[in-house]
Amino acid sequence: INITVIEHNDTEHTLQADTDQSVMQAVTAEGIPGLPADCGGACACATCHVYVDPAWVDKFPPAEELEQNMLECVIQLESNSRLSCQLQLTEDADGLIVRLPEAQ
């Protein structure tokens, strides 16, 4: 599937991702800056924060409690904030657009 990642400075990357990846894995595999993902996907660091384009928010199950708690640590929380390591890609996510925050 294709996903588009937009850095905070508006640099856009469209990349090929697999449905066995999380959004975080797909973004870090491309070496896109701005997503350190320090804990490697354990939902323990909140440095994989992304904003999911509003058209795509419903394509993912809502955040579970652990993710919700970690989201409280992010610098600029918005209603479409998610931790990208918890966003498992599916065929439904083809065309997904996520934006990276100014800082993690």
* Pairing of β 81-83 and β 49-52: antiparallel
Q: Based on CB atoms, which residue is closest to ligand FES, 6 or 48?
A: 48
Nearer to ligand FES, 10 or 52 (CB): 52
CB of 66 to ligand FES, least distance (A): 9
In angstroms, what CA-CA distances link 30 with 15, 26, 35, 42, 62? 8, 7, 11, 20, 26
**Shortest spacing between CB 5 and ligand FES, in angstroms:** 15
Kindly state the DSSP code that residue 67 receives in the 8-state scheme: H
Question: Shortest Cβ distance from residue 74 to ligand FES (Å)?
Answer: 10
